[in-house]
């Protein structure tokens, strides 16, 4: 006789889907935007799974909701160290995910949101602006709403970032998984117009080890370059130091004694500093971002990522860099933004 677990959360998930669909129907009739739902909770609470369930339910009845992926550690839209948005038009494939359609991706550069809170909040706002623009131009996208997946919740300064996400996307519903204190804090700090629903952690959710998380990150990068089945062949080539411009987010922090009185070093988090290639940069992932004609740093957060390349080797004597790329050459007028994400290519 098989064991049957009676305390499954699926009835609660189905009830949430029904409630969201009623909001979508009302939005269609009144020509307003559909529900915007944010999932919050600690690590390994089942947020990503619930996100997929709600998206699949919506797609099966003809909706086209947008997946907003704000988990920079193990997001389902792109490689680690990025945030992105994807319009979901079909149910998720078990290996390929939701869609072959190119998502809107923005560079962050780290797998920890709290390592550069100002930059994380800025690109979150930029992603919200882009999603609002798409809603203004497409009624189905607007009425279908979005599901926002977030990374592991950290109390400080993660809570401030969570409030920023909710405000930037003007969310209607927040689903809090397995975090009673967070639930009550959100009730206290957010407008009463925002529905905040607490859900119990699913019995099927398991704690993932650091080793497993690292392997999962490697898998995401590997699939980007080689495809989910290893059927894609990336290009390997060399470029001179003088042919590339590499930047890193976050200027070095100066000693307090060197900072002018009345000024703050917080703005340094939004600055991009040039990086001189060295052996330390080997195996680091780079985001490719087009630079606007004005050539300013604002391009790095204003423009979405065109793709990613990997530094496989650096020769300081010859002043050359070996790169692994989906394309046989670099794009013109582009900047390369280095990440903390490391991947050692074995092929």
Write the pLDDT tens digit of every residue in 168-227: 999 999 999 988 999 999 999 999 999 999 998 877 777 888 999 999 999 999 999 998
User: Which residues share a beta bridge with 219?
Assistant: none
Q: Do both 177 and 240 map to the same domain?
A: no
Does 220 fall in a domain? Answer: no
Q: Do both 192 and 247 map to the same domain?
A: no
Q: Do both 178 and 242 map to the same domain?
A: no
Structural domain including 39 reads 10-199
Q: Tell me: pLDDT of 253 over 80.
A: no
Q: Do both 79 and 150 map to the same domain?
A: yes
The model's pLDDT over 102-159, given as tens digits with 9 standing for 90+, comes to: 899 999 999 999 899 999 999 999 999 999 999 999 999 999 999 999 998 877 778 9
Q: How many domains does the chain have?
A: 2
Evaluate if pTM is beyond 0.75: yes
The CATH number of whichever domain residue 184 belongs to comes to: 3.40.50.300
User: Which residues share a beta bridge with 286?
Assistant: 309, 338
Cβ-proximal residues to 150 (8 Å cutoff; 6+ apart), any chain: 38, 39, 40, 47, 70, 71, 162, 165
Does 223 fall in a domain? Answer: no
Q: Do both 69 and 160 map to the same domain?
A: yes
Q: Do both 175 and 74 map to the same domain?
A: yes
Q: Do both 49 and 140 map to the same domain?
A: yes
Q: Do both 37 and 167 map to the same domain?
A: yes
Does 219 fall in a domain? Answer: no
Name the pLDDT band for 341 (thresholds 50, 70, 90).
very high
The CATH number of whichever domain residue 336 belongs to comes to: 2.40.30.330
Does 318 fall in a domain? Answer: yes
Q: Do both 69 and 153 map to the same domain?
A: yes
The model's pLDDT over 211-243, given as tens digits with 9 standing for 90+, comes to: 999 999 999 999 999 988 888 899 999 999 999
For 58, the token pair is 């919506």
Cα–chain center distance at 122: 13
Q: Do both 154 and 239 map to the same domain?
A: no
**What is the 3-class SS of the chain, one letter each residue?**
CCCCCCCCCHHHHHHHHHHHHHHHHHHHHHCCCCCEEEEECCCCCCHHHHHHHHHHHHHHCCCCCEEEECCCCCCCCCCCCEEEEEECCCCCECCCECCCCCCEEEECCCCCHHHHHHHHHHHHHHHHHHHHHHHHHCHHHHHHCEEEECCCCCCCCHHHHHHHHHHHCCCCEEEEECCHHHHHHHHHHCCCCCEEEEECCCCCCCCCCHHHHHHHHHHHHHHHHHCCCCCCCCEEEEEEHHHCCEEEECCCCCCHHHCCCCCCCHHHHHCEEECCCCHHHCCEEEEEEECCCCCCCHHHHHCCEEEEEEEEEEECCCCEEEEEECCCCCCCCEEEEEEEEECCCCC
pLDDT of residue 297: 80
Q: Do both 184 and 125 map to the same domain?
A: yes
Q: Do both 188 and 270 map to the same domain?
A: no
Compute the average pLDDT of residues 52-65. Answer: 96
């Amino acid at each position: 006789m098989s064991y049957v677990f009676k305390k499954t959360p699926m009835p609660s998930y189905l009830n949430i889907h029904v409630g969201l669909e009623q909001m979508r129907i009302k939005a269609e009739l009144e020509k307003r935007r559909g529900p915007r739902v944010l999932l919050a909770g600690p690590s390994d609470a089942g947020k990503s799974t619930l996100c997929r369930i709600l998206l699949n339910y919506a797609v099966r009845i003809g909706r086209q909701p947008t997946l907003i992926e704000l988990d920079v550690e193990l997001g389902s839209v792109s490689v680690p160290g990025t945030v992105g948005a994807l319009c979901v038009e079909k149910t998720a494939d078990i290996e390929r995910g939701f869609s072959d359609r190119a998502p809107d991706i923005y560079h962050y550069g780290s797998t920890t949101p709290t390592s550069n809170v100002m930059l994380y909040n800025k690109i979150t706002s930029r992603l919200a602006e882009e999603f609002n623009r798409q809603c203004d131009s497409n009624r189905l996208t607007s009425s279908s709403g979005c599901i926002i997946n977030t990374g592991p919740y950290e109390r400080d300064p993660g809570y401030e970032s969570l409030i920023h996400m909710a405000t930037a996307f003007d969310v209607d519903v927040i689903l809090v998984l397995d975090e009673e204190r967070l639930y009550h804090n959100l009730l206290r700090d957010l407008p009463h117009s925002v529905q905040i629903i607490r859900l119990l952690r699913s019995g099927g959710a398991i704690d993932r080890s650091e080793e497993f998380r690292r392997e999962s990150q490697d898998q995401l990068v590997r699939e980007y370059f080689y495809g989910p089945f290893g059927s894609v062949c990336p290009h390997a080539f060399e470029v001179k130091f003088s042919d590339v411009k590499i930047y890193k987010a976050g200027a070095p922090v100066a000693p307090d004694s060197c900072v002018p009185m009345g000024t703050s070093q917080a703005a340094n988090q939004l600055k991009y500093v040039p990086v001189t290639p060295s052996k330390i940069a080997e195996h680091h992932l780079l985001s490719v971002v087009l630079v606007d004609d004005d050539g300013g740093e604002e391009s790095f957060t204003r423009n979405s990522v065109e793709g990613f390349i990997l530094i496989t080797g650096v020769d300081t004597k010859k002043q050359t860099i070996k790169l692994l790329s989906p394309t046989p050459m670099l794009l013109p007028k582009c900047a390369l933004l280095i990440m903390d994400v490391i991947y050692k290519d074995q092929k």
